[in-house]
Amino acid sequence: MKFIRNTAKSLSIRRGIRSFFWPLSGLYGLVTLARNALYEAGWMRSERAPLFSVGVGNLTVGGTGKTPMVEYLIRRYAHTHRLATLSRGYGRATRGFRLADATSTARELGDEPLQYYLKFGEKVQVAVCEDRLLGAQRLHALFPALNLLLLDDAYQHRALQTDVTILLSDYRRPFYEDEPFPTGRLRETRGGARRADAVVVTKCPGTLSEAEQEMIKEKISQYTSPGTPVFFSSVTYAEPRTLAGEVPAKVPSVVVVAGIAQPEPFLQYARARFSVIEELIFPDHHNYSAPDKERLRKYVKSDTFVLTTEKDMVKLREGESTSGLGSHWLYVPIETDFGNDTQRFDAWLQNVIKVPSLPDRPRR
């Protein structure tokens, strides 16, 4: 009975907090509605990039799977198109336009753009710029042969009008059940989904039935333009790798470290696969300090590894390859998997991305 009373009290407190913030949430929603209306009416200027652009974004703050979705598109087009990615570079200590190179750090680019460069730098130009239109123009000026631009997290950046827009919605936190900030986690009202050319429901369980898919499609269609397709995807985890990219033969125990928006799926993966000694959770885009790294090094022993996400590793890796402990720092690559929707999604991409391919481009 005590547990029930405490639970009821906790729910009552949460409802009270939500009620307190409702007016602010309504005001925030009105401001975003007004901003979008000004863009739609042409009172605020919106321009297309000088090269064909595909935007990947969301309505919800953080954690919908934008990075693996962009990587899916990179894998899909890197061999057939002259490709670039453009991000804001969230959490970086620099400003303005920056192009990734072999000397770049997460502090200069942000963690996700650096991850793109480390994985695909030989195939793709990776750049960051707060002003996406300016960034696209700079990329075009530097590399006139580019013919496809992938924009990471630019859904609310209305100054740049993308040719194709893909909206992501987390299966566990669908935008159609959320509210604008601060009551909820929406960056704008649900009606912003009308700008999407397609919606991808991310992080779906493998047991998602056709009946539930149809129910989700029906709920999404209340906010999207008529005929907007809806696709379903999940996340697949690859084998953990060391800083050198090797798969260790045996991992007896791990300390799990994560600084991402939604760490629970990663934690569930780690608990199911390994003996977890401790879980250290930091805020999204956490910049690991020297004391943070020193604290983690104390866990590393012959039978204990530090296990983290790919996004976290681009920041944790700096200096560790020469520390003598690099083989005990592990990261887990993830990929977007469309499962039964793969052919349908790829066919849709082929239909909407109106850029000539380069069949004579050699594969690397």
Buried-state track 73-112, b at ≥16 Cβ within 10 A, e below 16: bbebbbbebbbbbbbbbbbbeeeebbbbeeebebebbbbb
The verdict on whether residue 251 carries a ligand-binding annotation is: no
Any binding-site annotation on 16? Answer: no
Residue 122 DSSP class:
T
Q: What is the DSSP letter of 180?
A: B
Is 192 assigned a ligand-binding role in the annotation? no
Of 231, 238, 271, nearest to 254 (Cα)?
Answer: 271
- Residue 66 is labelled as binding a ligand: yes
Cα(112)–Cα(128) distance, integer angstroms: 10
What is the side-by-side order of every strand in the sheet holding 53-58? 98-99, 124-128, 83-87, 148-152, 53-58, 164-170, 198-202, 230-232
Helix axes 66-77, 342-352, angle to 10 degrees: 70
Best CA proximity match to 255, nearest among 267, 243, 245: 267
65 is known to lie in a ligand binding site: yes
The answer to the question of whether 26 is labelled as a binding residue is no
Contact present, 151 and 53 (Cβ < 8 Å) = yes
67 is in an annotated binding site: yes
Answer for the pair 58, 152: CB distance below 8 angstroms, yes or no.
no
Contact status, residue 86 vs residue 136, Cβ threshold 8 Å: yes
Q: How many CB atoms lie within 10 A of CB 236?
A: 13
Give CA–CA dist 218/11, Å, rounded: 30
207 carries a ligand binding annotation = no
What residues pair up with 332 in beta bridges, in sequence order?
Answer: 309
Binding residues for ATP: 60-67
Binding-site residues from annotation: 60-67
